[in-house]
Amino acid sequence: MWHPVGELPARVYWRRRLVVLIVLLGVLGGAGWLGFTLLAGRDDDAAASDASRPLPEPALARVVPSLSAVATPDPPPVTPAAAAAQAAAPAPTAGGSCTDAMLALEVRTPRTAAVGSKPTFELAVGNVSAVPCVRPLDKNLQEIVMFDAAGTRVWGSNDCFPEATVDARTLAPGEVVTVPLVWSGLTSEPTCTAERVAPAPGTYVLRARLDTKVSPDATLALE
């Protein structure tokens, strides 16, 4: 094959083979270029089609509506009655009755006392408003009650020696009135018929009352 035999010179056969090879290469190259052109044109058409097609809506947007589409209800109108209810409470009248909100009530103790002794407690009533006011400090409206650690009532100031007096006080703004009360050091109950004994050592709670006003708790340790 590589050594042509014939009547013509060998270079003639080599030229023919070279021409055939060039033609063959040209045909193959043209076919390849044509295929590449067709594929490139198809890709361009697909890209143009995708660009003109609208983007699909995200899955989340199909589930959760846009906030701009959500209508917010208008607040209800404020009626005159509602406006009056929202208005601040009127200021207290000077010289009027002292309401519970205008008073501070406190029971004061010596903190510690010996079992069986007779400590003195104080009922402190103060006007915390900005105007003077009147409050009855009648003895029958005052009371101090003692409880043990379990919450059991141990003693009350009105159990055995109730008093009835009339004592209306005008309290100036910031004024504090203290009423002393001596405890006998013994237990009691409202009918004052049970045996009265000295409470056992321990910590006790005292709570004061002036009619409907109740004080915070104070402690007394009996030793």
Please answer whether residues 206 and 193 qualify as being in contact, where contact means their C-beta atoms are separated by less than 8 angstroms: no
| Distance (Å, whole) CA 147 – CA 149 | 7
Whether 28 is in a domain gets the answer yes
- The helix (H) or strand (E) run that includes residue 205 is strand 202-210
14 and 108 share a domain? no
- The 3-state DSSP composition of the chain as helix, strand, coil percent (nearest 5) reads 30, 25, 45
Q: What is the residue range of 165's domain?
A: 100-222
**Is the per-residue pLDDT at 64 higher than 50?**
no
Instruction: Report, as an integer, the average pLDDT of 163-184.
Output: 94
**Is the per-residue pLDDT at 142 higher than 50?**
yes
**Is the per-residue pLDDT at 68 higher than 50?**
no
Whether 92 is in a domain gets the answer no
pTM here is 0.59
Of the listed ranges 2-11, 50-59, 128-137, 206-215, the one predicted with least confidence: 50-59
Map residue 6 onto helix, strand or coil: coil
More confident residue, 61 or 215: 215
Q: How many domains does the chain have?
A: 2
Q: How far, in Å, are 67, 103, 105, 181 from residue 215 at the CA level? A: 54, 10, 5, 16
| Distance (Å, whole) CA 133 – CA 126 | 11
202 and 146 share a domain? yes
Whether 95 is in a domain gets the answer no
Provide the pLDDT for residue 80. Answer: 66
| Distance (Å, whole) CA 152 – CA 205 | 10
13-20 long-range Cβ contacts below 8 angstroms, 24+ apart: none
Whether 77 is in a domain gets the answer no
201 and 105 share a domain? yes
| Distance (Å, whole) CA 26 – CA 18 | 12
pLDDT one-digit tens code per residue, 12-57: 666 777 777 777 777 777 666 666 666 666 655 555 555 555 555 5
Whether 42 is in a domain gets the answer yes
Provide the pLDDT for residue 67. Answer: 42
Whether 177 is in a domain gets the answer yes
Please answer whether residues 206 and 151 qualify as being in contact, where contact means their C-beta atoms are separated by less than 8 angstroms: no
64 and 104 share a domain? no
**pLDDT averaged over the chain?**
80
